[in-house]
A and B are shown apart, each in its own frame.
Chain A
Amino acid sequence: MDLHTSYMGLQLKHPIVASASPLSEDVDNIKRMEDAGASAVVMFSLFEEQLRHESAAMEHFMSYGTNSFAEALSYFPAVEDYHAGPERYLDILRRASESADIPIIGSLNGITNEGWIDYAKNMEQAGARGIELNIYYIPADINISGREVEQRYIDIARHVKQAVSIPVAFKLSAYFSSVAYMAKQLDEAGVDALVLFNRFWQPDFDIEQREIVHSLDLSRSGQIRLRLLWIALLYGRIQASLGATTGVYSHVEIIKYLMAGADVVMTTSALLKNGIAYLTTLEEQLTRWMEEHEYTSVAQMKGCMSQQHVADPTAFERANYIKILENYQSSYAL
C-alpha cells in the first residue's frame, strides 16, 4: 500500500499530520507523535501578540518592587539571559527538529509585518521544514472593507514568502465572500499550501457569571463538511497543496478529505481525546479501509470526489441543496 503524499513540497510517508495543538509544547510529545506514526507535526502556534505581552509582563514582574524598599532592592535573582521573546518556542522547535526524522512545521500567528517576517525567519533558522501561517484577523472595525482584509492576507503571504526559503502554508478561515478567489490570490502570491480551515475565534458566554468565555472546544466530525466542500472545489484548480483540518476522529473523515482532494489531513482533537498513540490507529484504519476497497495508493484516491472528478459537478453548488429536498423521498419507492 502506497500511502505517500506530497504536501507543500515535502514528501510524507502518509497523509496523516498532527496539527498545531498544545501537545507539541513538549518535545517529548512530538517524539511520541513521531513514534506513533505521524508523517509530520505542525507545532503549536507562536502568537506574536502574546509574545509582545509576555515580554512586557516579564519585564514588569522582574522589576516590580525593585528599588522601592530599603531591605529588598529586588525580589528576584538577577537573571541576565532570560528570554521573553520567541526563544522558548524556537528552542522546542530546534530540539524537535533535531531529534525527529519527520518534518516539523512551525506555526505562526502574527499581528505586524515585522512580526510575521522576523518570526518566520527565526523558525527557518531553528530548523523548521515549513511554516504554517495561521491567520484569523477579526475585522471588528466596521469601516474596514472585505477588500482591505483580503489585501492584508495577501500582503502577509508575499512578505513571508520573500523572507524565507522553506515552504509556507496558509491556514485561513472560510469567512470570505469568495473563498475560491481568495485561495487563487494566495496561490498566486506563492504560498505552497492552503490549510482549510482554522476555527475562527468565536467567544462563548457564561450565562451564570455573565462573562465572555475564552475557550475552544474540541472539533466535531460534523464540521468537516464545509472543508470538504472547499477542498473539493479547489482541488486541481490551484498550484498550492491542500491541507484539511478539523473534525477528524477516524479513518472515515480522513478518507473523505482525501477523496475531496486534500494532500494531508490534520488532526488534533482526536489526539487530545484519545491520546497520541491514536495516530497509529488512524493509519491502520486508513490502510485497512483502502485494502478492503482495493485502493493501492493515496494518489489513486486523492481528489476522486473533487468537483473536477465527480460525475455531476453541480453537486457542489447551490442546486444541490434543492436536490436534497427532492431526494427526501426515494426515487425508487412507490
Chain B
Amino acid sequence: MTTQHTIFDGNEAAAYVAYKTNEVCAIYPITPSSTMGELADQWTTEGRKNIWGNVPVVVEMQSEGGAAGAVHGALQTGALSTTFTASQGLLLMIPNMYKIAGELTSTVFHVAARSLATQGLSIFGDHSDVMAVRSTGFALLASGSVQEAHDLALISQAATLRTRIPFVHFFDGFRTSHEVNKIELLTDEQIFAMIPDELVFAHRARGLNPDHPFIRGTAQNPDVYFQGRETVNRFYLETPGIVQDTMDRFNDLTGRSYSLVEYHGHPQAERVIVLMGSGAETLRETVDYMVHNGDRVGVLQVRLYRPFSAQPFLQAMPDTVKAIAVLDRTKDPAANGEPLYVDVVTTLSEAAATAALPWATPPRVVGGRYGLSSKEFTPAMARGIYNELSGASPKNHFTIGIRDDLTHTSLEYDPEFVIESDNTVRAMFFGLGADGTVSANKNSIKIIGDDPRFYAQGYFVYDSKKSGSQTVSHLRFGPDPIRSTYLVQSANFIGCHQFSFLNSADVLARAAPGATFLLNSPYDAAEVWDSLPLFVQQQIIAKRITFYVIDAYKVARNAGMGTRINTIMQTCFFAVSDVLPREEAIAKIKDSIKKTYLKKGEEVVRKNFKAVDETLANLHRVKVPAQATSTIARRDVVAVDAPEFVRNVTALMMDGRGDELPVSMLPNDGTYPSGTAAWEKRNISMFVPVWEPDICIQCGNCGLVCPHSVIRSKFYNKSRLQPAPASFKTAPLSGRGFPDVYYTLQVYVEDCTGCTLCVEACPAKSKEKSGVKALNMRAKDPGLDDERKNIAFFQSLPDNDRGRVDFSTVRGVQYLQPLFEFSGACAGCGETPYLKLLSQLFGDRLLVANATGCSSIYGGNLPTTPWAVNQEGRGPVWSNSLFEDNAEFGLGFQLTAEKHRTLAYQLLQELRSTLGDDFVEDILSASQDEESEIRAQRARVNELKQRLANLNVTKAKRLLSLADQLVRRSVWIVGGDGWAYDIGAGGLDHVLSMDRDVNVLVLDTEVYSNTGGQMSKSTPLAAVAKFAVGGKMVGKKDLTLQAISYGHVYVARIALGANPQQSLLAFREAETYKGPSLILAYSPCIAHGINMEHGLRQQKLAVESGYWPLMRYNPDLRRDDRNPFMLDSPRPMIPLKDYAYKELRYDILRRTNPEQAELLMRLAQENVDLKWRVYEEMATRGDPEHRFAKPN
C-alpha cells in the first residue's frame, strides 16, 4: 500500500483519529486544544464519517465539567465517546475521570498539555495538567511529535477498548499541538484493523440498557468500598502488556514501531536522560550528535506513564548507565521531587529491594525541571544536563533553561552549542499578525511538504497583543523527517515583513553565516542601506548576508490588496530561497491561490495573481557595502524615566528578552505593578486622529468611545499655557462664564491603534469642507515629534478636580482620567470603552474581579497592564482567578469589604471618645453615593489615619489597618459572555441571588472571542459561530429577565455606541444601588465579521432593530410605587436583517445555505418581536409615565 503523507499540526493529527474512532464527542474550547473540537465539529458539518460510516455527534458544552459529564453519560450508555481539553479544563474533568475509571470505562481524552494557572495563567505547554490527573485511574500515554500524536491516538483508542482502562493521550501544548509537520496518514483500513468490532460490541454491551437492567454508580459503605476499589487491580496490571501488544500490532500494520519505554543512544551509555513528550525528539537529535562525537549518552523516552510499569523501564535502560537525569515538565513545589523522577526513583528502589537491578552499582539518579510554559528546550540545554551528569555529584532537583539566582537550582549550558543540520533549510519570518505572514508560511509548508522530495515543519510564535501583534515563524524544509522540537537557532533565510521591526527586534540575531535576508522596505535597493540601524548593517556585513528588498506594500496596493502582503512575501521567499525551482514554485503558489480562493470569488484570485506577477519585478538585491556607516541607533525600549521595575524587568519582556530574566528579578507571588502599558508606546498605527480645535464642540463623544484611552481632555486656566510647545493645540472652553478657561483634546498618538471610532463618533463638522470633522485621520509620522512634546506638556497640566466634574454627562466624564489605558485589545474593541468608563467613574476605589477571557488577556497578560494609577497614587486593583469562578471570586472581594468595614465601624465606636464624638459620627453617618461625598469621606479618613498614627494603642493600630475600607469600595465582577452565560452561569446566578452589593459587568460579544469565536449561550439565533456553522438554531438566553426574576437585582442593558448617556446612567445607578447589579454591555467584536470602524453604527442598528433593547430595571423605584422596568430605546424602527446582514456572522449563512438563512432570520425576527412585546408590557405595566424613554 502506498503511504499517504499529509501536513497536519498535532491537534489535527490526534483529532483525525479520535473522530474516526468515536460516535460522540463533547467538548469545551480551551487553548491549546480548541482546534481539536473545532475540527471535529467542522467535519460533522461536512458530513465526514467515522470508520463505521456514520457521522459522529459533536456537542459544545458549557464547561469542561459539562463536557466530561456528557462524555460519561454517553459512555455509560454504550457510545464510543471522547473529548479534547487542556489545563484547567482537564482539572474540571477530574471528578468525572475518577468515576469513568472506577467504572472501567473505555475512552480516550486527548489533551494538549498545558501549564496550570498558579502565580499566573499560562496558555503554553507543559505537563502540569496531566500530572494533576495521574491519580484518577486513567492511563497516561505521551506523544512527542505530530506523527506520534496521530499514531498514539489510535493506539490509545485500541488499548482502552482492550484494557477497559480509560486513557489520557497527551502531547505538548503548542510545541506539538501547533507544530505543523509532514506525517504519514493512517488509512481507514489501518484504523479499522486496530479497532475490532467485538471490542466495540463489548463496550456497547456494558452500557445501560433497560432490556438488560442493572444499576451502576451506587453509594457504598465502609463494609465494601475498600474491597471494591481493589477489584480493578488486574486490569491495571495487564494494561502495560496490552498497550505494548497494541503497539506491536500497530507496527505490523504501519511499519512504525513504538514501545512503552523507548531507549535511543549509545548501547553502552553511561549517562541517560529520562523524559516524556516532545523534548525526547530534541534529545534524540542531541544524542545522535554526541554519540557521533564519542559520548556514551542516551535518552529513555517514557510513553506509557500510567500505569507505570517497572519492567519495561528497567529492560530499556542500558546496564552500563552510571548517571540518570529524570526530566519533568512540571513543578511540584511541595514534593520531594517531580512525579516522573519520583516514579523512577521508586522503580529503582523497589528493584533494588527485590534484587532485580541489572547494575552492580546502582546508577545515581537526579531529577530536574525543564520547559515549563513552553520554555525552549534545546540541544544546548540537553548537553548541559549530560555535562552535569559527568560530574561526581550532579545537582539534584535542578532546573535547565533558566537562571535561578535565588535557590541556585539551574544548570549552566553553552547556548552557542547548535547542531542544526545543513541538509535542512531553516527559515525565520518576522511579521505582523495582520499582514498574513503566518498564513502564507503555512501555505508554503503545504506547497513544499506536498512535494515527495521534501519534509517540512513549521512552528509559530505569537505575542500576547490582539492589535499590532507580532509573529515569528520558524520553518524547516529538508529531505529527511524533521524532528527538531525547538525554534530555529541558526537560520539560513530570514524574512522581515515589517521595516519597523529592525528597530524593535534583533531580527538577524539567529542568522547563520551566509544567510539570505529579505526585507519589506519602503526604501528601494539604492536607498535602503542608509536607512538601516547601525547594528543591522554590522550583522549583515559580519555574517556575509545576501540582502534583498521589496516594497511589498506598494505591490499590494497596486494589486488592490490593501495591506495584505502575505502572497507577495511568500513569492519573494520562493524566488530567493531556492527551496524549489523558481518557476515551479510560482506555479505552485498560483495553483494554491486558485484552490484557496476560487469559490470565494474570482476577484480575490485575480488580485493575488496580480500580486504574484508584480512581485518579481519589484524584488531587488542590495549591494552591501564593506563598512557599516549608519547613524541610526536602536531606540530605548522604555523611556529613561520609567520606574525601576519597568526598566529592569518589563522592558526586557517587551523587547523579547524575557528569557534572560533571572528568578530573582521576578515577583514571587504573581504581584505586578499597575500602569505599565503607558511605557510601551507601541506605535502600531501609521494613521492617527488629528484634532481641529476650531471645529470641535468639546462634547466628549470621541474620548468616550476610544477603546484605547488615547483621547484625553482637560480644561485649565489660560495662564497654564505659558510654557506650552508651539504645536500645542488649545481652544477656549465652550460654555459661558469661563473666559480664562481653556480646553485641550490631546491624542496619545503613539498608543493609538488607528481604529477611527473617534472620528466616527465625532458630531462636529467643518462648515467649509464636507467630510472634515473635529477629528480626522492623518499620517502620524510628520507630527510625531511635536506630539510627543505636546503629550508631555498635556500630562504636566493638573488633572481636573473630580469634585468639579459633572459625572452625569458624557461632556463631563471626558475630564475624568481613564485608569484603564493603552491595552493590547483589538483596534476598535467594543469591550474596552466600558472598562475605561468604569475606571473613570470609580477607578480610585475600584476592585475588579476579571473572568478569564479577552478582558483578562488585554487586562493582565504580561508584559504590561492597562490598569493604571492616578496622580494621587490610587487606582483600580485587578485580579483574575479562573474562568468559571469569577462571580464567586468577586463576591469574596465584597465580603472582605463588608467585614472589614464592619470591623472598622466597631473600632471607631470603641475609640469614639479618643477620636472625637462628632468626628466619628461624621465618618459613620457619611453618605457615599456621590463623588463629592466620597471625596469628603476620603478627607475624613485621611484625618483619621493621622490621628490614629499618633495613638499608641492596639485598637488604633487595628483601625489604622482597616481605615481605607471606610471609603466605600466599588466591587465589579467583569467578564465576557462565555463566562456569564456558560461556564460561570451557576456562580453568577448564585451571587445575584444574594443580597450583596456587587456589580457585574458582562462584556457581551456573543461568542467566545478570546479562543476564536465559539458559540456561547449568548450567541444569537441565526448567527454563525464555531459549533453553529449552520447558524444558531435557538435564541440567546435573556440574562436580563433571569436576573430580574429575583426582584432585588438592578439590571441594565446598554450599548455605548447607541446611547452613551444611558450607558453612563446605568453605570452610576448600578454602582450606587445597594445590592447586586448586572449590566449587559453590547460589545462589537472582530468575531462579528465587521469592519470595526462600524462598531458604533452596529450598536445603533442593534438597538433600532429591537434586537438589543436598552433598558434598566431599578428595584429602588418600587419604594416610590413606581415601575422598576424602564425601556430606554424606542420601538423597533428597522427589520432585524437590516442590522444583522451587515455582519458576516449572519451574512455568511446566506452564502452557504440561503434557505436556512431565510428561515433562521424569520425566526430571529419573531424572537425580536416577541421580546419587544414582553419588554413593552413590563415597561408599561401600571405606569404610563414610563411608557417609553425618549430616544436619544
A residues whose Cβ falls under 8 Å from a Cβ of B: 26, 51-52, 54-56, 58-85, 87-88, 91-92, 209-212
Contacts and interface: CB of A to CB of B under 8 A. Distances in A.
Interface in B171-198: 174, 178
21 contacts: A55-B604, A56-B560, A58-B1148, A61-B1091, A63-B436, A64-B1089, A65-B1087, A67-B460, A69-B465, A70-B32, A72-B1012, A74-B1012, A75-B1013, A75-B1087, A76-B1026, A76-B1148, A77-B41, A80-B599, A83-B601, A84-B1151, A210-B766
Contact of B1152 (A72, A79, A92, A211): A79
> Majority SS of interface residues in chain A?
loop
B601 A79 contact: no
Contact of B1029 (A54, A71, A79, A92): A79
B1009 interface: yes
Contact of B1144 (A56, A71, A76, A212): A76
A211 B772 CA distance: 10
A209 B178 CA distance: 50
B1086 A211 contact: no
A77 B42 contact: yes
B31 A83 contact: no
A72 B1011 contact: yes
A199 to B, nearest CB: 22
Contact of B1151 (A70, A71, A82): A82
Given A65-B1086, A210-B770, A73 B1150 contact: no
B471 A77 contact: no
A63 B469 contact: no
A54 B45 contact: no
Contact of B601 (A63, A76, A84): A84
Contacts of A54: 601
Given A61-B1090, A63-B436, A76-B1148, 7 more contacts: A26-B1158, A68-B432, A68-B433, A70-B464, A77-B1029, A210-B766, A211-B770
B433 A76 contact: no
A75 B600 contact: no
Contact of B439 (A61, A63, A92): A63
Interface string B1101-1120: 00000000000000000000
B471 A67 contact: yes
B1009 A77 contact: no
A63 B442 CA distance: 14
Contact of A67 (B436, B770, B1029): B436
A82 B599 contact: yes
Given A56-B601, A75-B1012, A64 B41 contact: no
Contacts of A74: 1012-1013
Interface of B: 31-32, 34-35, 38, 41-42, 45-46, 123, 174, 178, 432-434, 436-439, 442, 460, 462, 464-466, 469, 471, 560, 562, 597, 599-604, 607, 765-767, 770-771, 826, 857, 1009-1013, 1024-1029, 1086-1087, 1089-1091, 1144-1145, 1148, 1150-1152, 1154, 1158
B45 A77 contact: yes
B373 to A, nearest CB: 12
B469 to A, nearest CB: 5
Contacts of B465: 69
Given A71-B123, A76-B1026, A76-B1089, A92 B599 contact: no
Nearest to B437: A67
B1089 A67 contact: no
A51 B1020 CA distance: 27
A268 B756 CA distance: 39
Nearest to B1028: A77
A54 B604 CA distance: 10
Contacts of A80: 46, 599
Contacts of A85: 599, 601-602
Given A59-B597, A65-B1086, A82-B1152, A77 B38 contact: yes
B185 to A, nearest CB: 19
A55 B1144 contact: no
Contacts of A67: 433, 436-439, 442, 460, 471
B601 A51 contact: yes
A316 to B, nearest CB: 42
B604 A81 contact: no
A88 B765 CA distance: 39
B1008 to A, nearest CB: 9
A83 B1152 CA distance: 7
A206 to B, nearest CB: 10
Nearest to A211: B770
A50 to B, nearest CB: 11
Contacts of A73: 35, 1012
Given A62-B1144, A63-B439, A76-B1089, A56 B41 contact: no
Contacts of A212: 770
A87 B1157 CA distance: 15
A81 B599 contact: yes
Contacts of B1009: 72, 75
A77 B38 CA distance: 8
A83 B1151 contact: yes
A91 to B, nearest CB: 6
A65 B471 contact: no
Most A CB contacts (10 A, CB to CB) among B460, B464, B560, B600 go to B600
B634 to A, nearest CB: 25
A118 B602 CA distance: 11
B1010 A70 contact: no
Interchain residue pairs A-B with the least CB separation, the first 8: A68-B433, A55-B601, A72-B1012, A67-B438, A84-B601, A75-B1013, A55-B603, A70-B462
Contact of B1010 (A71, A81, A88): A71
A32 B991 CA distance: 53
A70 B463 CA distance: 8
Nearest to A68: B433
Contacts of B603: 51-52, 55-56
B604 A59 contact: yes
Contacts of A79: 1024, 1029, 1148, 1152
A68 B469 CA distance: 6
A75 B1086 contact: yes
Contact of B1013 (A59, A76, A92): A76
A70 B31 contact: yes
Contacts of B466: 68-69
A77 B1031 CA distance: 11
A86 B30 CA distance: 38
A189 to B, nearest CB: 27
Contact of A68 (B178, B462, B765, B766): B462
Contacts of A56: 560, 601, 603-604, 607
B866 to A, nearest CB: 17
Contacts of B462: 68-70
B305 to A, nearest CB: 26
Given A61-B1144, A68-B433, A68-B469, A84 B1013 contact: no
Most B CB contacts (10 A, CB to CB) among A54, A56, A77, A210 go to A77
B499 to A, nearest CB: 19
Contacts of A209: 765
Contacts of B1027: 77
B1154 A88 contact: yes
A77 B767 CA distance: 46
A74 B1013 CA distance: 8
Most B CB contacts (10 A, CB to CB) among A54, A80, A84 go to A84
Contacts of A76: 1013, 1024-1026, 1087, 1089, 1144-1145, 1148
B463 to A, nearest CB: 9
Contact of B600 (A55, A68, A77, A211): A55
Most A CB contacts (10 A, CB to CB) among B42, B770, B771, B1012 go to B1012
Contacts of A72: 1009-1013
B471 A68 contact: yes
B601 A59 contact: yes
A246 B471 CA distance: 57
Nearest to B1027: A77
A76 B1029 CA distance: 9
